[in-house]
Amino acid sequence: MEEQQAEAQASKTSAAASTRDEADRKRRRQDLEMQRERILSERTSNPHRRSALELALADIEEKLAELGWSVHL
């Protein structure tokens, strides 16, 4: 009986951690998507600024890919 209760508690703790991890992952993905949209909306004729934006965009898209994201065209 105690063993079953311990297993049930461990299962609940594991499920809560998994849910928390998934929520953190979702927030991180949303944050990165917002950063990506902001970069894509910027317009500049300055080549140095454009280069910096392209590098930042590539970095963000790499992080999004690690989270299982793909470009939705």
Tell me which of 21-30, 44-53, 63-72 is least confident: 63-72
Query: Is it the case that residue 29 has pLDDT exceeding 70?
Result: yes
Mean pLDDT of 25-50: 95
pLDDT of residue 73: 55
pLDDT of residue 9: 74
Nearest by Cα to 69 from 42, 20, 36, 21: 36
Q: Which residue ranges make up each domain of the chain?
A: 2-66
pTM of this prediction exceeds 0.85: no
Query: Is it the case that residue 50 has pLDDT exceeding 90?
Result: yes
Residue 52 structure tokens: 């910096």
Q: Which helix (H) or strand (E) holds 56?
A: helix 47-66
Cβ atoms of 42 and 53 closer than 8 Å? yes
